[in-house]
Structure 1
Amino acid sequence: MTILITGANRGIGQGLANEWCKAGKEVIGTARNEPGLEQLDVAEPNSVSALAERLKGKPISALVCNAGILLDRHEQLDGGYPPALWAKHFQVNVTGVFLTVQALLPNLRLALENGEATKIAIVSSLLGSQAAAGGGRYIYRSSKAAAINLGRNLAVDLRPEGIAVGIYHPGWVATDMGGSEAEVSVEDSVAGLRAQIDDLDLIETGCFKAWDGKVLPF
């Protein structure tokens, strides 16, 4: 079983990579520029294409789309949220996810042909849920809402092929993004997410769940 993780150089992505490696899984970790990891900038289409070319013919049984950004936490409704910031978030948090999935579909299909349970996990956020609207962080919330929608529709199209898709909220985690006041440790989030992704199958494809298994509203 080979697992590819985007954004594996720190935080949740790094934690997941370490845990699966300890469990004996082959892990391909990616990052924009990190020694020892596959080079991938999800915001750059050429970088995504280059990764797919390097991995041509390599079966991948699980693709974990973890790379993401949150840069609008201090923006104000009056005069804030510039257009360039919108574009950057969607380029990474939405388009980057889609392009990575699209580019690595041949690898996922190869794993299917080998009889492996094949899946895609998209790390989104409860902040993208329309039922959990709390105001502020408009760009991040919108991009994560789009990521949820993307995952739901990918689940519909890929189910007939046998590829399961799950969307996950990692919790408010004490990472560089979450900050020191976060409620969930990296270790707990990683352990929970790993369990959810390991258990993902076609029965629950299209699910939106928290790291602890709680089913979340879209």
Structure 2
Amino acid sequence: MHVVITGANRGIGQALMQRYVSRGDEVTGTARNKDGFAHLDVTRPKDHNAFAIALSDKPIDLLICNAGVYMDKDQELDGGYPAQMWADTFAANVTGVFLTVQSLLPNLRLAKHAKIAVISSQMASHERAPGNSYVYRASKAAALNVGRNLAAELSNEGIAVGIYHPGWVSTDMGGDVAPTTVDQSADGLVLRFDELDMASTGCFRTYEGLDHPY
């Protein structure tokens, strides 16, 4: 199986890459600028074009859209959340997901039962909206929407799409107080991706396998 993981140089992406490599899968991990990884800044269309050319005619069985940013942890409603922060976050967390899928569709279509996994967050849920982190929450909600629409449009091609909450994970993004370890998240996500099929396409689930409220 050929697995492509964006943002594979650290955190959850790195842990996922290690698991697929250890079980014998072929893995292409991307990073913006890191030796040993395929170059891909998901906010740059030129990078997507070059990456797609490099993978030309190579089937992708599982595409994991993991790359993302969280820029507004410490912003205040009064005077915070500058416009550029919204633009930069959506470029990575939303447009980056869409461009990744769009540019690699030919490779996914070459696989027999291709899958796409979009890493979103529980912070995408409109049923759980306590305020703060407006930019990140909105971007992850948009990524969830993109995933759901991709699932609908690609269903007739047999390409399954799942959207996932990886847990509140103890990474640079999640912080030291996060209750979930990287290993717990990665182990659960691998199981979720393995079980993804056309019967569950469009799902929004936690790394533990629970359906998440929208």
Tell me the TM-score normalized by structure 2.
0.99
Take 2:190 and 2:172, find their aligned partners in 1: how far apart are those partners?
A: 20
Take 1:6 and 1:142, find their aligned partners in 2: how far apart are those partners?
A: 21
Report the Cα offset of residue 103 of structure 1: 0.2
Please, which of 131, 138, 141 is the counterpart of residue 137 of structure 2? 141
1:38 aligns with 2:43: no
Take 2:142 and 2:184, find their aligned partners in 1: how far apart are those partners?
A: 26
Give the match for residue 118 of structure 1.
114
Take 1:200 and 1:12, find their aligned partners in 2: how far apart are those partners?
A: 19
Give the match for residue 217 of structure 1.
213
Report the Cα offset of residue 40 of structure 1: 0.3
The one-letter code matched in structure 2 to 1:164 is A
- What are the residue-to-residue correspondences of 1:46-65 with 2, within 5 Å? 46-65=46-65
Tell me the TM-score normalized by structure 1.
0.97
- What are the residue-to-residue correspondences of 1:56-205 with 2, within 5 Å? 56-112=56-112, 117-205=113-201
Take 1:190 and 1:59, find their aligned partners in 2: how far apart are those partners?
A: 23
Take 1:214 and 1:68, find their aligned partners in 2: how far apart are those partners?
A: 23
Report the Cα offset of residue 198 of structure 1: 1.0
Take 1:17 and 1:53, find their aligned partners in 2: how far apart are those partners?
A: 22
- What are the residue-to-residue correspondences of 1:19-38 with 2, within 5 Å? 19-38=19-38
1:5 aligns with 2:1: no
The one-letter code matched in structure 2 to 1:163 is I
Take 2:186 and 2:128, find their aligned partners in 1: how far apart are those partners?
A: 23
What is the number of equivalent residue pairs in this alignment? 214
Report the Cα offset of residue 64 of structure 1: 0.2
Provide the alpha-carbon RMSD of the alignment. 0.5
Gaps (5+ residues) in structure 1? none
* 1:35-93 deviation digits (Å, cap 9, x = unpaired): 01100000111111110011111110100000000010100000000000000000000
* 1:168-195 deviation digits (Å, cap 9, x = unpaired): 0000000000011001000000000010
Secondary structure, aligned partner of 1:64: strand
Q: Which runs of 4+ in 1 moved over 2 A?
A: none
Q: Kindly, what percent of the aligned residue pairs are identical?
A: 56
Report the Cα offset of residue 99 of structure 1: 0.3
Take 1:199 and 1:134, find their aligned partners in 2: how far apart are those partners?
A: 32
Gaps (5+ residues) in structure 2? none
Take 2:84 and 2:106, find their aligned partners in 1: how far apart are those partners?
A: 33
Report the Cα offset of residue 134 of structure 1: 1.3
